[in-house]
């Protein structure tokens, strides 16, 4: 076995004879062998992690269609200019195949970082229409090829870090006037005084009896046809409620509550159609349920038939009065769309009785 050592210049003059005698080979200090300073390539290219954020870099868990978002990927030992290919998926749960949303994303790595910015497309919402929660939960499958070797990963790594995408909700508003606490007439004592109505877009809809005949008469719009032009708008009713003199002239003297409900565009179309058809064929008005409908029951019917506002155990058919509707909406009803989906409804604005 030959021993290899490096000899300093100070002893190089002893000559090769001495070195050979001891079976030692001299190697000048500036020369190198694989045994002395072998340069090894320890690089192991990796796609390490990724996260969602807004364009300012603030972390996101939720986003709205049409709102620009950013996905940042951190890599290790991947050269600048290497292309990462992104395919966007909607997570469908543990027992269903995930839906591919888009594969049109490619970004180059720079300083071991790749940043992708894009605007979520509302058409992706269709992929979630058969899911229980009907929400897109987005993640990426990312791949690249380095020296003939494919590298793939799925980011973010944790399900809780997927981006939930919501559409912009439409807002409808329920108006509830409670009976005045000082009034003692027959209807008021039964809680049937006051009024319930619906505002959809710029329009106002409600239902009432022929004047002075609440027990059985042909139904018709109520406040809605009492305005000067016979068609009350949302802006009109808001102006009336904000003016004491106007409220008195309209005899809107009880407490009034406005309750906004965030619903989907499809629900909005459906409930608006419901009220247009109700105006075309009003049917009977009666405070006696077997004989017809009244203002409150029609508001409840439109919500229950056209939206998912009411919780499973809310029993909307039990609410027959403005007070009952107020309790129903503020205790067991929810928004159906957007970031507030499934959140409990609350009072948007209150007007004191006068």
Quick: pLDDT tens for 37-59: 444 467 899 999 999 999 999 99
Q: What are the tokens at 6?
A: 């490096």
Output the CA torsion sign for 312, 317, 319, 322.
positive
CA dihedral sign of residues 269, 270, 271, 277:
positive
> Do residues 324 and 315 lie in contact, with contact meaning Cβ atoms separated by under 8 Å?
no
Distance from CA of residue 154 to its chain's centroid? Answer: 22
Q: Where in the chain is the domain with CATH 2.60.40.1940?
A: 46-166
Cα gap 198→207, rounded to integer Å = 10
Strands 217-218 and 195-200 turn out to be unpaired
For position 311, what pLDDT does the model report? 81
Through-space distance between the first and last CA atoms of the chain, rounded to whole angstroms? 110
Measured CA to CA, the distance from residue 306 to residue 228 in angstroms comes to 31
334, 246 in Cβ contact below 8 A?
no
Contact 255, 195 (CB under 8 A): no
Q: Does domain 46-166 have CATH number 2.60.40.1940?
A: yes
Q: Could you read off the pLDDT tens digit of each residue along the chain, which spans 354 residues?
A: 444 445 555 445 545 554 455 455 555 555 444 444 444 467 899 999 999 999 999 999 999 999 999 999 999 999 999 999 999 999 988 778 899 999 989 999 999 999 999 999 999 999 988 887 889 999 999 999 999 999 999 999 999 999 999 999 999 999 999 999 886 555 554 445 799 999 999 999 999 999 888 899 999 999 998 877 789 999 999 999 999 999 999 999 999 999 999 999 999 999 999 999 999 999 999 989 899 999 999 999 999 999 999 987 778 878 889 999 999 999 999 999 999 999 999 999 999 999
- Residue 218 has, within 13 A of its CA and on its CB side, a CA count of 4
pLDDT at position 19, please?
A: 46
Report pLDDT for 188: 52
Peptide bond into 156 cis (omega under 30): yes
CA–CA dist 92, 134 (Å, integer):
10
Residue 229 is predicted with a pLDDT of 78
């Amino acid at each position: 076995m030959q021993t290899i050592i490096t000899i300093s210049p100070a002893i190089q003059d002893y000559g090769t004879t001495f070195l050979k005698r001891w079976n030692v080979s001299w190697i000048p200090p500036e020369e190198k062998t694989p045994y002395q300073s072998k340069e090894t390539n320890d690089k192991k290219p990796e796609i390490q992690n990724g996260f969602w954020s807004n364009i300012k870099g603030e972390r996101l868990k939720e986003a709205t269609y049409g709102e620009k978002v950013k996905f940042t990927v951190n890599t290790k030992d991947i050269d600048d200019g290497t292309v990462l290919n992104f395919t966007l998926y909607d997570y469908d749960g543990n027992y269903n195949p995930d839906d591919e949303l888009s594969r049109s994303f490619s970004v180059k790595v720079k300083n071991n970082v790749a940043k992708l910015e894009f605007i979520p497309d509302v058409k992706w919402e269709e992929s979630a229409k058969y899911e229980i929660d009907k929400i897109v939960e987005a993640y990426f499958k990312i791949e690249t090829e380095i020296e003939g070797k494919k590298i793939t990963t799925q980011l973010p790594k944790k399900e809780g870090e997927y981006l939930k995408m919501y559409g912009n909700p439409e807002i409808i508003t329920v108006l509830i006037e409670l009976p005045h606490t000082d009034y003692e007439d027959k209807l008021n004592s039964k809680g049937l005084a006051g009024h319930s109505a619906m505002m959809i877009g710029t329009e106002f809809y409600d239902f009432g009896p022929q004047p002075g005949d609440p027990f059985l008469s042909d139904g018709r719009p109520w406040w809605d046809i009492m305005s000067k032009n016979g068609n009350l708008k949302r802006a009109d009713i808001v102006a009336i409620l904000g003016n004491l003199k106007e409220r008195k002239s309209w005899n809107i003297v009880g407490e009034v509550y406005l309750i906004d409900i965030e619903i989907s565009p499809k629900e909005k179309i459906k409930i608006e159609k419901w009220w247009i058809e109700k105006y075309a064929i009003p049917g009977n008005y009666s405070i006696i349920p077997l004989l017809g409908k009244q203002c409150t029951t029609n508001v409840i019917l439109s919500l229950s038939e056209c939206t998912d506002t009411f919780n499973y155990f809310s029993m909307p058919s039990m609410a027959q009065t403005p007070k009952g509707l107020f309790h129903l909406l503020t205790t067991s009803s929810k928004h159906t769309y957007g970031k507030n989906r499934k959140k409990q409804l609350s009072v948007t604005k209150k007007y004191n009785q006068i």
